[in-house]
Amino acid sequence: MKIDLKGKNILVTGASRGIGRGIAEALGKSGATVAVHYRQNKTAAEALAKEIGNGSQAFRADLENPETGERLFQDVVNAFGRLDVLVNNAGIFLNSPLESETWLAGWDKTLNVNLRAAAILSRLAILHFQQRGGGCIINISSRAAFRGDNPEHLAYAASKAGMVALTKSIARGYGKDGILAFLIAPGWVKTDMNKETIERYGEEAIIKDLALNKLTEPKDLAPLIVLLASGMADHATGTTIDLNAGSYVH
């Protein structure tokens, strides 16, 4: 059965590449109108919006800046008239060793982009959804939120763990307003953001920690986001869905 998202307006942050791009493409193929957020790659974002069609548009915002994040949400609502689904996907994965003089700056930037921006957009989405009788928030966290990460990425793990509490709190607090919240927790995903780390450890070494014989790709996550956005899994609100090639059970 093909899921039909025609008539739904969906904002996907960090959608010009990687996981976000895969999500945006899948949503578009199901008929959704997608707000393709990007920070730098205007060409890629505009090309993706054109490829998706359905009236999709590209929107620029540096989510490290809270005012820019607020403006992004308003720009999307002004352009589309309303928003039905928010996908908080944008994130950074900075290498910040404890010995580094820039450790604190890296920590602050990571939490600002990965967690604070998601909270700001979620707040605006909740207020918007309350006026419209409901909506859906899908947060892209990480396996690192539950099992931690290496010492160079303490801030990344902490930021993704914060998304867990944020998502569950939204689900508990606003479910009776028709507002749903879901958390997706991928493991290693083969993207540009992870390319350097994958090359450092070696893809074969990482796969040894998995139950499957290949790394997860954005296309492996996208169908689940389509399902959650459709409203066909509403009673799973507050749920964390692990997509990590069985690395918890291997």
Q: At residue 129, does pLDDT exceed 90?
A: yes
Position 112, amino acid: N
**DSSP secondary structure code for residue 9 in this structure:** E
Q: At residue 198, does pLDDT exceed 70?
A: no
Q: Which residue has the higher pLDDT, 186 or 229?
A: 229
**What does the pLDDT read at residue 248?**
72
Backbone dihedral angles phi then psi of residue 143, each to the nearest 5 degrees: -55, -30
**What does the pLDDT read at residue 190?**
58
Percent of the chain with pLDDT over 70: 92
Tens of pLDDT along 44-78? Answer: 999 999 999 999 999 999 999 999 999 999 999 99
- Residues with Cβ within 8 Å of 55's Cβ and at least 6 positions away in sequence, in order, are 33, 80
Question: Helix 117-132 to helix 154-174 angle, to the nearest 10 degrees?
Answer: 10
Query: What's 9-190+217-242's CATH class?
Result: alpha beta
Lowest-pLDDT choice from 90-94, 170-174, 195-199: 195-199
Which residues belong to the active site? 156
- Residues with Cβ within 8 Å of 183's Cβ and at least 6 positions away in sequence, in order, are 138, 139, 141, 163, 164, 167, 168, 239, 240, 241
**What does the pLDDT read at residue 191?**
64
Q: What is the largest CA-CA distance in the chain?
A: 54
160: helix, strand or coil: helix
Tens of pLDDT along 143-181? Answer: 999 999 989 999 999 999 999 999 999 999 999 999 999
Lowest-pLDDT choice from 15-19, 200-204, 224-228: 200-204
Q: Write down the residue that tokens 């890629």 correspond to.
A: 44
**What does the pLDDT read at residue 152?**
92
- When pLDDT is averaged across residues 113-135 and rounded to a whole number, the result is 98
For residue 206 the two structure tokens come to: 């990482």
